[in-house]
Amino acid sequence: MVTTANTNKTKIYNLIILDESGSMDSIYNQALSGANETIQSIRTAQSQSDDQEYYLTFVTFDSDSSKESVRTIINAEPITNVKDLTKKDYSPNGFTPLYDAIGFSLTQLQKKVKGDDKVLVTIITDGMENSSEHFNHFQIKSMIERLSEESWTFVYIGANQDSLSVAQSMKIDNAMNFMATDEDTDRMFKEVNRQRISYYEKVRASKMRGETHYKDKEFFSKVSITNRVTPSRIDYLGHNEIFVFGSNVDGLHRGGAAAAAFNRFGAIWGRAEGMQGQSYAIPTVGCNINEIQHCIYRFIDYAINHPELNFLVTPIGCGNAGFSPVDIAPMFRDAVNVNNIYLPIDFWQVLM
Q: Give the end of a domain, one of 177, 193, 226.
A: 226
How far is C-alpha 205 from the geometric centre of its chain's CA atoms?
25
Domain range for 312 = 241-351
Q: On the CB side of 290, how many CA atoms lie within 13 Å of its CA?
A: 0
* Domain identity same for 131 and 16: yes
* Domain identity same for 197 and 330: no
Q: If we measure between CA atoms, which residue out of 172, 164, 185, 156 comes closest to residue 92?
A: 185
Phi, psi (deg, nearest 5) at residue 179: -95, 140
pLDDT at residue 2, rounded to an integer:
44
Integer Cα distance of 55 and 213 in angstroms: 18
The helix (H) or strand (E) run that includes residue 182 is helix 182-208
* Domain identity same for 291 and 336: yes
Domain count, the chain: 2
Is 158 a member of any domain? yes
* Domain identity same for 102 and 131: yes
Q: If we measure between CA atoms, which residue out of 230, 184, 237 comes closest to residue 346?
A: 230
pTM of structure? 0.73
- Which 3 state secondary structure label does DSSP give 6? coil
- Which 3 state secondary structure label does DSSP give 16? strand
Is 150 a member of any domain? yes
pLDDT at residue 1, rounded to an integer:
45
Phi, psi (deg, nearest 5) at residue 150: -100, -145
- Weakest-pLDDT range from 108-122, 156-170, 236-250, 260-274: 156-170
* Domain identity same for 248 and 211: no
Which CATH number characterizes residue 309's domain?
Answer: 3.40.220.10
* Domain identity same for 81 and 108: yes
- Is it the case that residue 236 has pLDDT exceeding 90? no
Residues 292 and 330 sit within 8 Å (Cβ to Cβ): no
* Domain identity same for 163 and 251: no
73-114 residue pLDDT tens: 999 999 999 999 999 999 999 999 999 999 999 999 999 999
* Domain identity same for 192 and 279: no
Which CATH number characterizes residue 192's domain?
Answer: 3.40.50.410
Is 56 a member of any domain? yes
115-163 residue pLDDT tens: 899 999 999 999 999 999 999 999 999 999 999 999 899 999 998 888 8
